[in-house]
Structure 1
Amino acid sequence: MRTNLYKVSGLLLMVFFFVSCKKNFLEVVPKGKLIASSLKDYDLLMNNASFYQMTDGDLTMLMGDELAAEQSYFQNSNISNLRAFAWEDVIYNPGDVVMYVDNRLKNLYICNKIINEVNGVSDGTASQRMALQAEALATRAWINLGMVNYFGNPYKETTAAADPGFPIITEANINAKNFKRSSVKEVYESIINDLKTSIVNLPLKGAFATRMSRPAAKGLLGKVYLYMGQYQDALAQFNEAFTDLGNDPSAASLYDYNIAFAPGGDFLPFGRSGPDYPGSNYLKYKESVLLKTNSMAGINSGIVLRPETMALYTASDLRRQLYSNTHVDLTPIPGGLLRKYTQYAHLGIELSDLILMRAETRARTQDLAGAKADLKLLRINRMSAADAEVPANVSTQVDLIKFIIDERVREFAGEGQRWFDMRRLSTDPIFSTQHYKHYMYAADGVTIAKSYDLKPVRFTLRLPQAILDANPGMSDNP
């Protein structure tokens, strides 16, 4: 599967085994082959850092409209960064390896190998084998949700059956070839089936924060339904995820920024990388229901926040302390522009994301009081209690939904979430008139040197050329 879908040379998973397995196991593995014969062998596969600590430069992190760029720094970025920020049709050169796709395909191969083979091992109990298979199924669903949101149109019920998505790959077969794109609807149905199948056998708590659990899978299923606009179904899954989390006293919990930024707090002292918070220290994962991070090193130099983004924060909002008025080299950013200290984007299932997604589905299903309660649950941990209540002028359903989307910007600005929200909201009548722009600021930090408009077609990325070359006849996106 790997070498034909996406032409990448190498020894498949040999690097993986050098990291994960004992030397005496390596000594009996034929070169270029993957052999796992025990439950432990298969379980070790899910511990590789490629599943949770990614360094693959996912350029969608540059594509949210909450961001701007400071020209004197950002103009020195590589060409792919510049193209992604400008929402160009072609981001990569033909010979480039798109690492965030390559890595996910590698992990998809591993998931399929576990799904299809682990029940054939002789050791372990049946429940242990089914739990590991369930974890691989749910992880496959996470991978496929990413792939269909990179390369398939935003989900729209009236067109999803005809919109090209991404191939549904269920076999760990390196000899398979000439894959065809499944429809967006088919990919979503496959994701839902994997998650529903996995949930019944997943543990309440994963072996590590990086491993899939029942509440993480339920939260992910809720997110899938949210992307599909099936809000009642999404709300049911979010409620079940919170019930599961409540049954585990060691489950994820929110940092209270009022305490974390106080003397002796968890986020202090400030260093060159800013506060010692999850965005600069991936070991601080108490808010992670499922920990998956991606390094932003190399793609965020010169990236700042739009003044309109910073205007969304009230004076007492302690999330403002996550921003700096200097570049990484400590030179001042001109014009009062600010950058976020973020080094690690959290892309798994975060407790704050679950709270805001449930708030949105509550608002969309007319439970305005419940939505406001969820908002307060998050906001009272981010600012003074006096400002944590939803403002009184946010009174209608539409007002509240828009406020929740703005809260998502306040919570996740600069962390790679926004482009995916922009995608799904593009099919929502409430946001149908939204127009997205990027600005490049000149040396004074005030004058706009360049501006870029997002064409709706670029809510969908073009397929990497290597995939098209390896699969003759596969159609690309416009």
Structure 2
Amino acid sequence: MKTYLTYLSMLGLATMLLACKEDLTEYNPAGSTAQSLFTTPEGIEAGVNGLYTYNRYFYGKEEGQALMEMGSDIWTNAANNGNTGSNGVFPQPALTTYQGLTTDNLWIKNRLWQQCYAAINLANSVLAYMPNAGLTATRRTELEGEARFLRGWYYYHLVEAFGAVPLRLTPTESIETTATRAPVEAVYQQISSDLQFAVTAVPPTTTEYGRITRPAAEAFLAKVYLTQGRYREAGNYATRVINGSTYRLLPTYADLWNITRQQNTEVLWAVNYSTNLTFNAGSNLNHTLFLMEYNTQPGMKRDVANGFPNVRYMPTLFLLNLFNEQNDSRYNASFKSAWLANETDATKRPAGINVGDTAVLTTKYPVTASFRQSKRYRIYDVNDMYKADGTPNDRFHYISLRKFDDPTRATDTETQSSRDAYMIRLADTYLVAAEAQFRLGQADSAAYYLNAVRTRAAVPGRQAAMRITATDVTLDFILDERARELAGEQVRWFDLKRTGKLVERVKKYNPDAAAYIQPYHVLRPIPQSEIDAVTNKAEFRQNDGY
């Protein structure tokens, strides 16, 4: 699944819906057409493989994190996310705080709208030409299942982000100047139809890591049904994956983030980034985005082990306080609080600190003046990092997300990572099952699925302290649990939108964004260039509020 089918772009099959101006002159230097490429089994195989690559535009990328994790209750801006460089005072970027979010946002347009529609158009082309391409009946069914799954996957991202969107099920092979936004219910009906086909068509296992399997399709269909409010179906499909597949939770949460164990029994589907970075056409950058500026601290310099600090995003105080690390191993597995001296030049280390000693400590607890004075290392406590209301006090130095670290990079200047980006994993499916059961009024069943995730996350010997009862289960508790388990995994914005909690929880827990988020922000703006390109503007209207 590492092949980039660059020649597909010459066909014009990935024409962006609505983005063409009437005076566009088409030029096809290869003389290739869909009819010539997709007439053979090899061409169809290449087309389906190409569908997977569009995930690389946002999974494991800064744009994807901004679109799918930021602007939520658990993350906010660090210093270099639009910072002026002066004391952490910065013009707040639109996707993290909603301040100045306009119809011209390039990441919404280039990375979400255009890439999803390019993928959908390729899926439509593959599906249209597949019947006459000479495939065996068995292989045709499998490939149709993959193509329809991926079409549904990209439509899910569009309908959740924008609401009503154009629903195209045939290839766009020429310039179109009109468009109609299909109702959300119609889009979801098509997504469900595609996925219902996929769960019976794709095989239960694969020898090609990164390719869709039946359990992955069932897990995604469970989330789609959950989003639609079809809770019984959501629970049924989630349970199929949990009880009827070979996928299992890993013994410890930290195992998930060991870069030598990425292909494991918990990951149902991932973007499979190559160790040969030239194959990736842009590798995973998640490891750089959440790190504080450690390299300017006494006794520290940038190195491979500690990572490349882009200082983009920092946790809200609310996220940090969700964890009781005495019981929950996910805090220390997810976050880095202590930085060990790595500066070999003794003159650049504080007196008494040797290589390997603690050089910097970040803590979510307050420390006393006497404690601070008793230590040789630099301390940033909760009051250094955050104001009393949770607004960041220091956007350069903070507790850093470590789960995406890549200590296998060749040099300390290398920003690209071969780490895979998980898109569906089993713990998420357990939490989908829990939410479905709660919505059905079965709090005891919801607690059962929550406890499976929580006891796996327990500090050894603290399993009993991590277990909950039915009376503990609320929608907010489930969202808190999803934050503890899935922070940074590009699901949070969709979680809050699905549950109707986006505005409420941002206002309550994210002081940077609280003053700016409005009810209409539960949808993204349609890119202005798309509206400008259509001739039926009275029908193809912008989302309210923009």
TM-score by length of 2: 0.67
* CA–CA distance in structure 1, aligned partners of residues 19 and 288 of structure 2: 24
Pairing partner for 2:518 from 451, 455, 461? 455
Q: 1:181 to 1:101 in 2, by over 3 A?
A: same
Alignment-derived partner of residue 75 in structure 1: 83
**CA RMSD of superposed structures (Å):** 3.7
Displacement of 1:54 in angstroms is: 3.5
Bigger radius of gyration, 1 or 2?
2
Cα deviation, residue 168, structure 1? 0.7
Q: 1:38: Cα distance to partner?
A: 2.0
Q: 1:454, 1:381 → 2: CA distance?
A: 36
Mapped partners of 1:10, 1:352: distance in 2: 49
Query: In 2 relative to 1, CA 413–463 (structure 1 residues): closer, same or farther, beyond 3 Å?
Result: same
1:423 is the counterpart of 2:497: yes
Q: Is the 8 A contact 1:114 1:136 kept in 2?
A: yes
Q: Which amino acid aligns with 1:426?
A: G
Alpha-carbon separation, structure 2, partners of 1:217 and 1:256: 24
Partner of 1:174: 173
Give the Cα–Cα distance (whole angstroms) in 1 for the partners of residues 433 and 28 of structure 2: 38
> Which whole-Å deviations, capped at 9, do the CAs of 1:316-346 have from their partners, x for residues lacking one?
322212212489x998774353121254795
- Which residue of the other structure, out of 267, 281, 287, is the alignment partner of 2:266? 287
Q: How does 1:13-412 map to 2 (within 5 A)?
A: 30-31=31-32, 35-48=37-50, 50-55=53-58, 57-58=63-64, 59-60=66-67, 61-71=69-79, 75=83, 82-88=93-99, 90-91=101-102, 93=104, 97-122=109-134, 124-152=135-163, 165-175=164-174, 177=176, 178-246=178-246, 252-257=247-252, 260=254, 276-277=258-259, 283-284=262-263, 286-292=265-271, 295-296=285-286, 300=290, 301-315=311-325, 316-321=327-332, 322-325=334-337, 334=380, 335=384, 337-343=398-404, 346=421, 348-384=423-459, 386-389=461-464, 394-396=469-471, 399-412=473-486
TM-aligned CA distance change 1:198 to 1:223, over 3 Å = same
Give the match's secondary structure for 1:349: strand
Measure how far apart 1:285 and its partner are.
5.2
| Residues 149 and 420 in structure 1, CA contact (< 8 A), matched pair in contact too | yes
Contact 2:16 2:117 in 1 (8 A): no
* 1:94, distance to aligned residue in structure 2 (A): 6.8
Secondary structure (helix, strand or coil) at the match of 2:541 reads coil
Q: Is the 8 A contact 1:151 1:461 kept in 2?
A: yes
Q: Is the contact between residue 269 and residue 424 of structure 2 (CA under 8 Å) also seen in structure 1?
A: yes
Q: The residue matched to 2:221 in structure 1 has which SS?
A: helix
- How many residues are paired up? 416
Which residue does 1:6 correspond to in 2? 19
Post-superposition shift, 1:39? 1.9
- The alpha carbon displacement at 1:432 in A equals 7.1
Gaps of 5+ in 2: 1-13, 273-283, 291-310, 343-358, 363-379, 386-397, 405-418
Q: Answer yes or no: is the 8 Å Cα contact 2:266–2:427 preserved in 1.
A: yes
AA aligned to 2:166 is: P
Structure 2 match to 1:464: 527
Matched residue SS, 1:2: coil
Question: Is the contact between residue 288 and residue 350 of structure 1 (CA under 8 Å) also seen in structure 2?
Answer: yes
The 1-side partners of 2:331 and 2:153 are apart by 31
Distance (whole Å) between structure 1 residues aligned to residue 162 and residue 218 of structure 2: 24
Q: 1:386 to 1:355 in 2, by over 3 A?
A: same
Instruction: State the Cα distance separating 1:4 from its structure 2 match.
Output: 4.4
Structure 2: which amino acid aligns with 1:129? R
Is the Cα–Cα contact under 8 Å of residues 203 and 214 in structure 2 kept in the other structure?
yes
Encode CA deviations 1:269-288: one digit per residue, 9 max, x unaligned.
xxxxxx635xxx89445422
Deviation at 1:469, TM superposition (A): 2.1
Give the CA deviation at 1:298.
7.3
Whether contact under 8 Å (1:54, 1:295) holds in the other structure is no
State the one-letter code of the partner of 2:46: L
Cα distance change on mapping 1:44 and 1:4 into 2, 3 Å: closer
Q: How far apart in 1 are the matches of 2:132 and 2:95?
A: 44
TM-score, scaled relative to structure 1: 0.75
> How many Å separate the matches in 1 of 2:495 and 2:531?
27
